[in-house]
Structure 1
Amino acid sequence: MSASKGWRQSPAILDFTAGLKCWPIISFMALSDVRARYKRSVLGPLWLTLGTAIGSMGLGLLWSELMNVPAAQFVPTLTGGLILWQFIAGVLSESTTVYVRQASIIRNLSLPLSIYPPQLLLRHVVNLLHNLPIFLIVALVYGVPVSWASLLLLPALALLIANLYWICVVISVLGARFRDLEHIVGAVLPLLMFISPVFYRPNYLPFSERILWFNPLSHGIELVRSPMLGHAPPLFVIWVNLALLLGGSLLAFWLFNKKRDRIAFWI
């Protein structure tokens, strides 16, 4: 009984419980960040959508010729990959400075520290929603099939977001302690982009497909892009993402519980 009570009184549990009650604050701060970024802009967040659309069509038509893959097959694949990569890379790159950028608020207001990672994640989810209509247009133009597997898009996206959440928690805590992590992640992301199935499906590279699956981000991208293209994701991709969620959540909880009280001193 005492062990159960001690577990419930752990810093992480108390902070996460308080953070759940602050969802109005989290959503307000996330949407305020989005509005502030595009303040006095004519198109606002649509600039992000426009840039993604131009990049998808330009690269899609060019690379379909270089890789000798029909545009009707390659352009939707590339568009889905780019949209998902922008979402994943944005969360990973900004996670390193989550607490550093909020240092003034943390020092002056008594708010749960667990609210800042979901604030970042929610902001990038909003950006993702701005880009998804691009894929819908591409899917209509190139006749991407719609099947029962398309219904898996929402649970697949929820699983990807859940995995990005624990990754954000881990990186944000480590980034508060080690400032070099921001530069390390920035240097590694371009390499990860090329060893992730962003511009292609894994089966486009029969000789390197097994190596590609050692990259955890490949499983996250394929988990969501497969339903977008009307196919069910491979079963092993689903299991890998579930295993990552379980193991990563335990890691994030342990790290946050152990270092939560030190974050304010690190920043």
Structure 2
Amino acid sequence: MPATSTAEQEQAATSSQKSSTRSWAKAWEDITQGFRQRELWGHLGWQDIKQRYRRSIIGPLWITLSMAITAVGLGLLYSQLFGATIGTFLPYITVGFIVWNFMLGCLTEGTETFIRNEGLIKHLPAPLTVYALRTVWRLTLMFAHNLLVYFVVVTIFWSDLTTAGYTITEGEHAIAQPGISWAILYAIPAFVLLAINGGWVAILFGIISTRYRDIPPVIQSLTQLMFFMTPIVWTTDILYRFGPDGEGSWRGLVANLNPLYHYIEILRAPLIGSVQSWVHWVVVGAFTVVGWGLALVAMRNYRARISYWV
């Protein structure tokens, strides 16, 4: 057989093999099959919580206790710094921390989704999406534990949060809030949307970090900066308090151009009876579509290589 025909056959076989591994259908099948195997990732996520607090006296309640100490300590401090009423500012900070911890976990733990599951990936014939959903489910359980702090805080300051027209901070730029009402039910689809975003974050950043191991520390460094740039321990009306430009000031861009602010606000606003803007939902919805599109592209191109990278 001529050498040229042999080379052509080998090249054709190689290209055929690449096309079979880089398939939109297989990438989509991996994602759909991963969601269907909820018993697997549900069990693995629950075992992560049990393993983390094994031989502990109060177990997962350490999650709730640490959140309570952080929220109360910073709430008391920043309420004095900003001259805010503790009855409305403490719930604001508490919910902000609870939502931020969930988002932070999706970013930081999502980068190590496949790295931490090296043994299972090499020996368990399961969709790779299972390990991303395992991470999101574990963080969801931690979020549920932290909600106990929210219920306690809301119970204590119920009269402040249900008063129509209450303000989180004081001053001429303070925004009047409608108070807790039936709109609190918007928190349910808001968290579902956050969890859906956690899925694509774990998949996309997990794939990138598996290939480039410098990404996790970079993400951790950036999240520290983004924490202070996001209205968690401060409110947006503070941006306008010390400037003459009022509400149209460029200072508002610090929050509005920060996508993390919109992610936090779609869940925090209904939980504390704050003003709910449709802009937050549009921004988060757009990032959801784009994010899952990028995750699908990453799964198509690199799904077959993850077992070699780990």
Match of 1:152 in 2: 186
Match of 1:223 in 2: 266
- CA separation in 1, counterparts of 2:185 and 2:115? 39
Partner residue, 1:76: 91
Shift of 1:18: 2.5
Query: Where does residue 214 of structure 2 map in the other structure?
Result: 180
Instruction: Please show how residues 1-267 of structure 1 align to structure 2 within 5 Å.
Output: 10-143=25-158, 144-145=161-162, 146-206=180-240, 208-267=251-310
Query: For the Cα contact (< 8 Å) 2:112–2:210, is it kept in 1?
Result: yes
Please report the TM-score for the alignment, with normalisation by the length of structure 1. Answer: 0.94
Give the CA deviation at 1:97.
1.0
Aligned identity (percent) is: 31
Q: CA RMSD for the aligned pairs?
A: 1.5
Query: How far is 1:9 from its partner?
Result: 6.4
Runs of 4+ in 1 over 3 A off after TM superposition: none
1:8, distance to aligned residue in structure 2 (A): 8.7
In structure 1, give the amino acid aligned to 2:98. I
- Which residue identity is paired with 2:300? N
- Structure 1 position 202, deviation (Å): 2.1
Q: Relative to 1, partners in 2 of residues 1:20 and 1:162: Cα closer, same or farther, differing over 3 Å?
A: closer
Matched residue of 1:110: which SS?
coil
Q: Distance in 1 between matches of 2:134 and 2:305?
A: 20
Alignment check: 8 A CA contact 2:45 2:138 kept? yes
Q: Which has the larger radius of gyration?
A: 2
How far apart in 1 are the matches of 2:35 and 2:221? 34
Kept after mapping to 2: 8 A contact 1:77/1:200:
no
Q: Deviations over 1:156-185 (max 9, x none)?
A: 111111122211211011011110001101
Aligned to 1:3: none
Gaps of 5+ in 1: 1-6
Q: Deviations over 1:190-209 (max 9, x none)?
A: 10100111112323322532
* CA apart distance, 1:232: 4.7
User: Matches of 1:215 and 1:167 in 2, distance apart?
Assistant: 17
Gap regions ≥5 residues in structure 2? 1-21, 163-179, 241-248
Counterpart Cα distance in 2 of 1:157 and 1:76: 18
User: Who is 2:172 aligned against?
Assistant: none
Deviates more, 1:28-37 or 1:241-250: 241-250
Distance in structure 1 (CA, Å) of the matches to 2:93 and 2:222 = 21
Aligned counterparts of 1:115 and 1:229: Cα–Cα separation in 2: 34
Letter in 2 for 1:259: Y
Structure 1 distance, partners of 2:81, 2:99, is 23
Equivalent residue letter for 2:139: H
Contact 1:95 1:175 in 2 (8 A): no
CA contact (8 A) 1:106 1:264 kept: yes
